[in-house]
Amino acid sequence: MTEKRKKLAAIVHSGTLDRLYCAFILGSTATAIGMEVHLYFTFWGLKMLTKGGLERAGLPATYKHLEEQMKKKLEEMKYPTLHELLKRMKASGLLKIYACSPTMEMFNVKKEDLIPEVDEIAGATAFLDLASDADVTLLI
């Protein structure tokens, strides 16, 4: 008998570099230890799933003055970019990405504007169904 996979379900509301890294590092660590990962992108998070979005992510107002320094440090560390982390998670076969449909309407985002890594356009019901059955639930 196989043990049921542990499951992480997170809402990604934030669209800033620091919070997206937090989401993607957690997500890729989770897939690396065999967890199923469900990331539901809404609001500013959803906006960053449009083509070129992840590449434009910066720090929030409170930490804006540290943005260049952080980006330089990440390069020096040869740390994977957000998009690389996303692709790595996808390659595991354990990640599913959801784009929040009401947010898409609010921000005039069309399906063809989204990066191809998005698996499904869905409303909050989809997240709640997943999260009700998950081991770890977070809002980022």
Q: Which residues contribute to the site for a copy of itself (CB under 8 A)?
A: 6, 8-11, 13, 16, 18-19, 21-22, 25-26, 29-30, 32-33, 35, 42-44, 60-63, 70, 73-74, 77, 79, 102, 105-106, 123-125, 127-129, 131-140
What is the rounded distance in angstroms from the CA atom of residue 57 to the CA atom of residue 127? 24
- Map tokens 């890594």 to a residue: 117
* Nearest residue (CB) to a copy of itself, 97 versus 131: 131
Rg (the chain; Cα; Å): 15
Provide the minimum distance between the beta carbon of 126 and a copy of itself in the complex, in angstroms, as a whole number. Answer: 10
Cβ 86 to a copy of itself shortest distance, Å: 16
Residue by residue, DSSP assigns 94-123 as -EEEEEEHHHHHHTT--GGGB-TT--EEE-
Residue closer to a copy of itself, measured from CB, 116 or 132? 132
Q: Is 93 or 116 the residue whose CB approaches a copy of itself more closely?
A: 93
How far apart CA 37 and CA 40 sit, in angstroms, is: 10
Please return the burial class of 11, using the count of CB atoms within 10 Å of its CB with bins 0-12, 13-18 and 19+. Answer: buried
Q: Least Å distance between CB 93 and a copy of itself?
A: 18
Shortest Cβ distance from residue 116 to a copy of itself (Å)? 26
